[in-house]
């Protein structure tokens, strides 16, 4: 057994490594289960078999170099010492070993280069190699490349090769014909279960002589090119649903795909290989499925619609029976060819007939020539005005159709604008008013007319006696007038009286007469003028009207042609035309005058207006604003026509009416007053105004002298006396001066006089005034002044006066003269009174005397009145109406007194009348 | 009041140089302007007395006829005294414009003379061109006093508002007049 065991031992063959003999008491290790085993990489790291770059995001995140954040940034290295060591880092520098390993992103293991890779990839290289192989010293060496080269060919290609496909060939069954002759005959319709391809193609083969029967060709490897330009904005290859397909009975393209017809042949021209390829197999289409080797499965969205099929067998056309889709192509395309027939000629290569004819351009007919148009211009012979060659003119007239009526208007330069306008047939200037009259308002025009007529009548009235004197039986002969006016107007009337001017628009008949009148006047018919006047009128009226017409015509002439061409009517309402005038005017004072005279103050003399004080003024017066809402200040105003003359004419001058108090006074004052608004502030001003600039100058100098006098410390009375004493020596000079004033000498002379010493000036001026006073005072003296309190004034008092000045308070007897002197010195710088002023005052005084006389008589009555007043004053708070009553009583009292009655009668108004008002 | 026929109201508080309101209703120079607490009374050479009532917002224009030289309110504010160049003073009711009294005897035909009312409204006074100052009884209308002031025209006249005291101006002299019983301290 031992021997056997030994031999056994020697014979034993052991495999593998024996397990370690178990130690005493040692447990047997449990093997780790597979799911619990963890993989380690070469470096002993768990579960990492790729680098950061290789593994994608998670790898980049979890397996990154070093830290969770990523690669450790390189520490800063000073470039001072290591300037040259700067290296350009590539991605490899950041890669792990795993990235660079066999399965990494950038393996550094040995790989097959392109040279050894599959040749199927690069066709050009292959070709180059083939050429090189041919050219090479040992031909055919390149053939070994295929053997040496690693087989990197895809399975599909390998399968194709095994099926006999070679690179460069098209895929598909081999063809018997030449590739370029492959296109199917469009004439042959394939329908339904078509003929077997062998049959159809066999027929074709017969035509091909030089092609061996047993030789087939591989289909050409051509990528079909789609040459239809993309014109829409759809995506590439998108084909929308054709609405024509959806319609019943309309054959769409799909239909024709099944049965390739005439419309297809254009695409056939391009050599649609795919088409031919597919069709080669025979019947194609969705209904039959797609062959494994066909590329027809592209049209997966094509829909089958019933409308694509014919549901009705149509009647066949009589004749050859070649109608419908089975008809030969030529027959079918007959209609189309009709259109194409239009173009006869050779179509250039690359060009084709347009399918659509371009829209014909619009043709405009040439303008119609006038009937009497003559293409050649000829000049008409000009005939001088007033020529006597009538036959020639007549001939011309016939030739031109009309002749210029007026020979004088032949030359166009002689025409004025309006005449030219008429000739041109233009309408007259509508915009501008033909006359100033139009600018006036209707009312004003009327008034103007009235005024005019009144003045005319006045003139007539003046003329009438003269005419009657000259020609007894013909008062205002119209002939005379017309001739006179015609002389005046002359030829100017030619353009007068065009239709826009209607001076007698208010009287249409008259206007009509006027128009015909003007027309006749224009034509120069002097004798027939009267025919246009109203025959029913009297001779005098007719004459008057004629003159009126003449005037109007002349007025129009002067205003129209000159004004209308220069002015244009304002387009917008112009505020400048209006002027603001107070709404309420203080009404006329004639009544007030009489009321004042009758001492009937109150309602008659009072005007009440609405008046708006300024707000600030109210505030300062500590008074509430009476019109808190109004924006007006002062009297409310209204707008009126600014250019209305009557706006300013109607304002009555108070001065003139005031002077109506007494008749004599009125007359005097009227003669003194200027028509312009005189200031009655000082009466002497009126005189001053009469002597305009020079007298102003004088007065200015005088007032200057007065100032100087006032400045002088000498007492006034003394000066007065001195002035009087000086009267005699300077009298002559004064007279001279007066003469100068009247003859209005040059200003230099005045300067020479007045620029001299002030003494002389003052004295002279005083003298003048004194001199002027002399007559006044004398007049005053001559009058019997019966005023009780007023002392008699006399020139003889002058000396006394000088003496009296020592006691000014007591001196009652002051001469008027003296007083005037004083006034000149101490008055509020009023210009010295002239003789006229004195006169006025004198008159006033006269009037006063008379009044005083009356006063004596009415004194009793006055007292009575005063008592009433007193009573009335007490009753004032009780009622105002009673007040009036008392006034009435007093007035009736005055009426009782016969003396005052006569006074009142001068006004022409009885007191009762006044009272009634 | 101005000779340019306007009355101009300035605001003294604002010191603006331009007037806040111009009353240009007068047709001629304004010779006299008096102001009460709510009225502006003016006399114009155009012969009208115009009273601008600020409280009522009214303008009352009374026609007198003769150029007006001076106007003044009575102390009770009910009447207006009007002096005009026809040598007449008129006392007009302010509200109605009625004539309450007429005073004549003095001479005022050329110059702008003043008229006054005494401190008790009992008398009416006016300067005159004859060198006197005349006083009338307001109610009676009768001449009460003629005061010879000077040889020339008494230009200005002013009555003390509360005392019987008169101030006159004539020929470069201003005179103060008191009652006879007055004893200067």
CA angle A200, A203, A206 (to 5 degrees): 150
To probe the interface with A, which of B8, B143, B171 has the most A CB atoms within 10 Å?
B171
B68: closest CA among A680, A657, A842, A824? Answer: A680
A278: left (phi over 0), alpha (psi -120 to 50) or beta: alpha
Q: Rounded distance, CA B159 to CA B177, Å?
A: 9
Please write the tens of the pLDDT for every residue from A45-101.
Answer: 666 666 666 666 656 565 555 555 556 666 666 666 666 555 677 777 777 677 777
pLDDT tens track for B119-145: 888 888 898 888 888 888 888 888 888
How many residues comprise chain B?
A: 185
Helix, strand, or coil (residue A340): helix
- The answer to whether residue A778 scores a pLDDT higher than 60 is no
Query: With pLDDT > 90 as the criterion, what percentage of chain A qualifies?
Result: 0
pLDDT of residue A402: 47
Please count the residues of chain A. 917
Q: Is the pLDDT of residue B147 over 70?
A: yes
Domain ranges of chain A: 121-166, 493-563, 588-647
pLDDT digits over A813-834, tens only? 444 444 444 444 444 444 444 4
pLDDT the model gives residue A73: 60
B46/A870 touch (CB, cutoff 8 Å), yes or no: no
pLDDT, tens digit, 9 for 90 and up, residues A351-386? 777 777 777 778 888 888 888 887 887 777 665 544
Average pLDDT over residues B139-157: 85
The pLDDT of residue A401 is above 80: no
Across the A/B interface, how many CB contacts are shorter than 8 Å? 241
Output B2 or A18, whichever has higher pLDDT: B2
pLDDT digits (tens, 9 = 90+) for A482-508: 455 555 554 444 444 444 556 666 677
- State residue B33's pLDDT score: 92
The more confident residue out of A701 and A891 is A701
Which residues of chain A from 415 to 444 reach within 8 Å of chain B, CB to CB? Answer: none
Minimum distance, in Å, between the CA of residue A538 and any CA atom of chain B: 50
How much is the average pLDDT of A702-724? 46
CATH domain B20-178 topology: Methylamine Dehydrogenase; Chain H (2.130.10)
Helices (H), A560-608: 590-597
Backbone angles phi, psi at A371, to 5 degrees: -60, -40
Interatomic CA distance for residues A412 and B162, integer angstroms:
94
The contacts of residue A793 (CB under 8 Å, 6+ apart) are: A777, A780, A781, A785, A815, A816, A817
Quick: pLDDT tens for A275-289: 434 344 444 444 444
Cβ pair A602:B65 closer than 8 A: no
Hey, where are the domains in chain B?
Answer: 20-178
In this structure, the dihedral spanned by the alpha carbons of residues A659, A665, A671 and A676, taken in order and rounded to 10 degrees, is -20
Predicted ipTM > 0.95: no
Residue range A41-52, pLDDT digits in tens: 666 666 666 666
Higher pLDDT, A576 or B72: B72
Check residue A739 and give its pLDDT.
45
Q: What does the pLDDT look like over A511-555, one tens digit per residue?
A: 777 777 777 776 665 555 556 666 666 777 777 777 777 777 766
Distance, in Å, from the CA atom of A48 to the CA atom of A36, rounded to the nearest integer, reads 16
A712 interfaces chain B, CB cutoff of 8 Å: no
Of A22 and A324, more confident: A22
- Are A812 and B155 within 8 A, CB to CB? no
CB B81 within 8 A of CB B89: yes
- Nearest Cα residue to A542 out of A486, A484, A491, A476: A476
Enumerate the residues of chain A whose CB falls inside 8 A of the CB of residue B45. Answer: 679-681
**Which B-chain residues 17-46 have CB contacts (< 8 A) with chain A?**
20-25, 27-29, 31, 37-38, 45-46
Q: Is the pTM of this model over 0.90?
A: no
**Section A251-273 average pLDDT:** 41
> Angle CA(A218)–CA(A223)–CA(A227) in degrees, nearest 5?
135
pLDDT, average across residues A748-774: 49
pLDDT of A556 reads 59
Choice among A576-590, A821-835, B42-56 with the minimum mean pLDDT: A821-835
Beta strands at B123-127 and B115-117: parallel, antiparallel or unpaired: antiparallel
Instruction: Indicate if the pLDDT at residue A716 is higher than 50.
Output: no
Region A842-868 average pLDDT: 47
pLDDT band at B57 (very low <50, low <70, confident <90, very high): confident
Q: Is B80 helix (H, G, I), strand (E, B) or coil?
A: strand
Q: How far, in whole angstroms, is CA A335 from its chain's centroid?
A: 63
**Higher-pLDDT residue of B100, A444:** B100
pLDDT digits (tens, 9 = 90+) for A414-429: 667 777 777 777 766 5
From B162's Cα to the closest Cα of chain A, the distance in A is 22
What is the C-alpha separation between A466 and A23, in angstroms, rounded?
A: 184
What pLDDT score was predicted for residue A117?
60
Instruction: Give the one of A600, A627, A823 whose C-beta lies nearest to B153's C-beta.
Output: A823
**Of chain A residues 616-635, which have a CB less than 8 A from chain B?**
616-618, 620-624, 626-627, 633-635
A640-679 confidence digits (pLDDT tens): 555 545 444 444 444 433 333 344 444 444 444 434 444 5
- A271 contacts chain B (CB < 8 A): no
What whole-number distance in Å separates Cα of residue A670 and Cα of residue A583?
30
| Portion of chain A with pLDDT greater than 70, in percent | 23
Give me the mean pLDDT over the B100-110 stretch: 87
| CB-based contact, B158 to chain A, within 8 Å | no
Chain B, 96 to 135: residues with Cβ < 8 Å from chain A are 96-102, 104-105, 107, 109-112, 129-132, 134
């Amino acid at each position: 057994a031992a021997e056997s065991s030994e031999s056994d031992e020697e014979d034993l063959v052991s495999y593998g490594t024996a397990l370690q003999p178990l130690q005493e008491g040692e447990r047997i290790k449990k093997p780790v289960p597979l799911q619990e085993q963890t993989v380690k990489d070469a470096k002993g790291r768990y579960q990492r078999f790729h680098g950061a770059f290789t593994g994608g995001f998670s790898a980049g995140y979890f397996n990154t170099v070093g830290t969770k954040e990523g690669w450790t940034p390189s520490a800063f290295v000073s470039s001072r010492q290591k300037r040259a060591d700067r290296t350009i880092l590539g991605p490899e520098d950041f890669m792990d070993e795993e990235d660079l390993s066999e399965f990494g992103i950038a393996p550094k293991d040995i790989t097959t280069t392109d040279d050894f890779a599959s040749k199927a990839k690069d066709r050009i290289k292959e070709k180059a190699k083939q050429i090189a192989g041919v050219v090479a010293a040992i031909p055919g060496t390149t053939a070994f490349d295929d053997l040496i080269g690693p087989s990197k060919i895809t399975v599909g290609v390998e399968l194709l090769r095994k099926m006999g496909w070679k690179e460069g060939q098209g895929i598909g069954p081999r063809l018997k014909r030449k590739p370029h002759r492959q296109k199917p005959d469009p004439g042959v319709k394939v329908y339904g279960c078509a003929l077997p391809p062998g049959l159809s193609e066999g027929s074709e083969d017969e035509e091909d002589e030089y092609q061996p029967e047993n030789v087939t060709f591989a289909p050409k490897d051509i990528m079909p090119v789609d040459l239809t330009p993309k014109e829409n904005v759809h995506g590439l290859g998108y084909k929308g649903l054709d609405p024509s397909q959806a319609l019943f009975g309309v054959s769409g393209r799909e239909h024709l795909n099944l049965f390739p017809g005439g419309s297809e042949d254009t695409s056939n021209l391009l050599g649609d290989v795919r088409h031919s390829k597919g069709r080669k197999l025979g019947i194609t289409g969705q209904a039959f499925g797609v062959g494994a080797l066909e590329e027809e499965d592209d049209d997966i969205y094509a829909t089958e619609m019933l409308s694509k099929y014919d549901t009705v067998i149509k009647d066949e056309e009589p004749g050859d029976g070649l109608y419908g889709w089975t008809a030969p192509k030529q027959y079918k395309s007959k209609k189309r060819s009709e259109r194409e027939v239009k173009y006869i000629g050779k179509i250039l290569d690359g060009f084709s007939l347009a399918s659509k004819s371009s829209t014909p351009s619009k043709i405009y007919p040439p303008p119609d020539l006038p009937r009497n148009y003559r293409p050649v211009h000829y000049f008409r012979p000009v005939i001088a005005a007033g020529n006597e060659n009538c036959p020639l003119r007549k001939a011309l007239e016939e030739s031109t159709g009309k002749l210029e009526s007026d020979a004088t208007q032949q030359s166009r330069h002689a025409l004025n604008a309006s005449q030219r306008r008429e000739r041109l047939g233009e309408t007259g200037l509508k915009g501008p008013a033909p006359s100033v009259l139009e600018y006036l308002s209707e009312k004003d025009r009327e008034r103007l007319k009235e005024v005019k007529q009144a003045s005319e009548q006045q003139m007539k009235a003046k003329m009438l006696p003269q005419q009657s004197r000259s020609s007894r039986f013909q008062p205002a002969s119209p002939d005379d007038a017309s001739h006179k006016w015609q002389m005046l107007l002359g030829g100017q009337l030619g353009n007068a009286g065009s239709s826009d001017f209607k001076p007698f628009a208010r009287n249409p008949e008259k206007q009509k007469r006027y128009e015909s009148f003007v027309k006749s006047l224009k034509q120069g018919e002097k004798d027939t003028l009267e025919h246009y006047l109203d025959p029913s009128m009297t001779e005098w009226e007719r004459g008057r009207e004629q003159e009126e017409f003449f005037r109007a015509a002349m007025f129009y002439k002067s205003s129209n042609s000159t004004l209308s061409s220069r002015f244009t009517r304002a387009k917008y309402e112009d505020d400048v035309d209006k002027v603001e005038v107070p709404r309420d005017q203080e009404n006329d004072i004639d009544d007030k005058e009489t009321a004042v005279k009758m001492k009937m103050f109150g309602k008659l003399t009072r005007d009440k207006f609405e008046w708006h004080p300024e707000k600030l003024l109210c505030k300062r017066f500590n008074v509430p604003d009476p019109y808190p809402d109004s924006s007006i200040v002062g009297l409310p105003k209204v707008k009126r026509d600014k250019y209305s003359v009557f706006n300013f004419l109607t304002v009555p001058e108070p001065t003139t009416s005031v002077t109506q108090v007494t008749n004599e006074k009125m007359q005097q004052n009227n003669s003194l007053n200027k028509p312009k608004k005189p200031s009655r502030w000082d009466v002497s001003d009126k005189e001053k105004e009469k002597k305009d600039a020079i007298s102003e100058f004088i007065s200015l100098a005088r007032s200057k002298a007065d100032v100087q006098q006032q400045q002088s410390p000498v007492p006034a009375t003394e000066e007065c006396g001195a002035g009087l004493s000086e009267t005699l020596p300077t009298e002559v000079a004064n007279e001279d001066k007066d003469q100068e004033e009247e003859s209005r000498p040059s200003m230099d002379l005045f300067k020479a006089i007045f620029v001299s010493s002030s003494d002389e000036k003052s004295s002279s001026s005083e003298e003048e005034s004194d001199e002027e006073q002399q007559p006044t005072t004398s007049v005053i003296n001559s009058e019997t002044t019966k005023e009780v309190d007023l002392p008699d004034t006399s020139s003889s008092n002058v000396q006394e006066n000088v003496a009296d000045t020592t006691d000014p308070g007591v001196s009652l007897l002051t001469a008027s003269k003296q007083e005037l002197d004083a006034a000149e010195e101490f008055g509020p710088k009023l210009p010295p009174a002239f003789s006229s002023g004195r006169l006025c005052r004198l008159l006033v005084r006269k009037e006063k005397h008379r009044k005083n006389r009356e006063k004596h008589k009415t004194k009793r009555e006055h007292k009575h009145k005063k008592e009433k007043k007193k009573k009335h004053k007490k009753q004032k708070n009780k009622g105002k109406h009673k007040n009036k009553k008392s006034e009435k009583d007093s007035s009736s009292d005055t009426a009782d007194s016969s003396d005052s009655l006569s006074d009142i009668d001068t006004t022409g108004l009885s007191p009762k009348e006044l009272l009634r008002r | 009041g101005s000779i340019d026929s306007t009355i101009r109201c300035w605001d003294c508080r604002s010191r603006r140089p331009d007037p806040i309101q111009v009353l240009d209703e007068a047709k001629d120079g304004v010779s006299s302007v008096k102001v009460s607490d709510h009225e502006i009374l003016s006399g114009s050479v155009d012969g009208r007395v115009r009273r601008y009532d600020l409280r009522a917002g009214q303008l009352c224009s009374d026609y007198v006829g003769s150029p007006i030289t001076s106007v003044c309110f009575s102390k009770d504010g009910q009447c207006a005294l009007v002096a005009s160049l026809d040598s007449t003073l008129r006392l007009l009711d302010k509200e109605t414009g009625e004539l309450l009294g007429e005073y004549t005897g003095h001479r005022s035909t050329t110059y702008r003379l003043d008229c006054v009312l005494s401190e008790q409204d009992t008398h009416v006074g006016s300067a005159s061109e004859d060198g006197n100052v005349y006083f009338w009884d307001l109610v009676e209308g009768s001449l009460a006093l003629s005061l010879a002031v000077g040889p020339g025209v008494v230009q200005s006249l002013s009555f003390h508002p509360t005392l019987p005291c008169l101030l006159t101006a004539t020929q470069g002299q201003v005179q103060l007049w008191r009652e006879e019983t007055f004893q200067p301290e």
